[in-house]
Amino acid sequence: MLWMRRIALVLAALALAGAGAAGPEGEDGLIVSVAVRDFASARLRRAGLDLLMEKGGRVYIVASPGDLAALNARRIPFTDETLRLRQASLRGLSAAGGINGAFHDALETEAELRALEAGYPELASVREIGQTLEKRKILALKISDNAASDEREPALLFVGCHHAREWISVEVPLLFGRYLLQSYATDPAVRALVDESEVWIVPIANPDGLEYSVRVYRYWRKNRRANADRTFGVDINRNYGYAWGFDDVGSSGQPASEVYRGTAAFSEPETAAIRALVLGLDLRAMISFHSFGQDILFPWGFTTQAAPTDAELRTVGRAMAGLIEGVNGRPYLFGEASSALYLTNGDTVDWTYSLAGAPSYTIELPPVDIDHGGFFNDEAAIGAIFEENRPAMLYLIRYGIDHPRSLDIRRLVRPKRSAPGPARRSQRIQR
């Protein structure tokens, strides 16, 4: 059959390109594109496909053989983009050593956190806030002038790696923790921030997924939940409790979907761990790091209805975007997530914002699109990406310290179902 020949050809091309090995469930990392008009007419947004981005009138998909079969069954023409995009992803990459090079896996991250704790015992405390399904530790680094004590100071939260394949999202918060500790003794501004607050850093929200991405299948996104239908994984950035399961556009109830929300809000140990941590804090602001796209996104994600503090969220987002661009000249767009990008429900920032109106942001790190590397960041660029985000992170700490939160968002908001906003340049579809 034609679709079987196409699958064989794409698989052969992928093997020649040296892409990630297929996993035990047959995830093959094939990248294909379909025309936007075909994507829309076939209503593929609800099909649970692993959608990377929309660009140049085409939608890009990480497709398994089953997905390719489904496209053929619907008579939807597609183009094999695997070789071209694999070459773009690998261009300029270096190999600093090890299977993941300069990037940190779960054990390497723990070693780094423990070293920081040992080197700065009064300022740093590593807490195990939960365990994954595969019994890996979910670790948080607390940084404060008296880190071992609970002083109920203003709390700022920085979280990385909800999605396993977004390796750069581990590095930025991890490097930020190192920077705060190393700068405390010599930089009065940093010392003031640390003395007046507690900074919480969770570099890896999804350790099981990250390990699978590093060692088995580079494009893996979800956690490693064994679902009832024999598929694997819940998208933990659809598993938080505010507007969980609001509709089947911003998340999916189908376990095979890359945006599967799980069986209930906080059903996953990863989100339960974050919830337990946050509910014990005087949370003033937070950032959830992702990749890719160079965006700063704020609530709401689940509806295009404006958030109660929309003006404040825009003002802070604009300030962070300006600080980031001022370092390397690289622009990050900012806006409400549902309008600037796409609808999503049950995500981290909507939930943290819903608690007390704490300014909450998703930052989509570089590159801007898959043609510039996508999830395959150049290892040599890790430092530059951190450096451009550092001023924005410092700004948000100061802003959070100076702005107590007490807004009851849940009583102010009456959600309405709404359509996603218009597409824009290099739009990535799922985060």
Q: Which residues are catalytic?
A: 364
pLDDT at site 44: 73
CATH topology of domain 106-412: Aminopeptidase (3.40.630)
99-142 per-position pLDDT tens digit: 788 999 999 999 999 999 999 999 999 999 999 999 999 999 99
Q: Tokens 């960041």: give the residue.
A: 377
pLDDT at site 238: 97
Q: Tell me the pLDDT of the chain averaged across its residues.
A: 85
Which region among 61-75, 108-122, 275-289, 298-312 has the lowest average model confidence (pLDDT)? 61-75
The predicted model gives 364-377 an average pLDDT of 83
Q: What angle do CA 149, 154, 159 make, to 5 degrees?
A: 90
Which pLDDT band, with edges at 50, 70 and 90, does 70 fall under?
A: confident
* Rounded alpha-carbon distances, angstroms, from residue 381 to 92, 168, 175: 10, 10, 13
Domain chopping of the chain, boundaries = 2-90, 106-412
How far apart (Å, rounded) are the C-alpha atoms in residues 77 and 68? 10
23-56 per-position pLDDT tens digit: 434 445 578 888 888 887 777 766 667 777 777 7
Q: What is the dihedral of CA 299, 300, 304, 306, to 10 degrees?
A: -60
pLDDT tops 70 at residue 223: yes
* Rounded alpha-carbon distances, angstroms, from residue 123 to 164, 196, 337, 398, 411: 29, 12, 35, 18, 38
pTM as predicted: 0.83
Residue 117 Ramachandran class (φ > 0 left, ψ -120 to 50 alpha, else beta): alpha
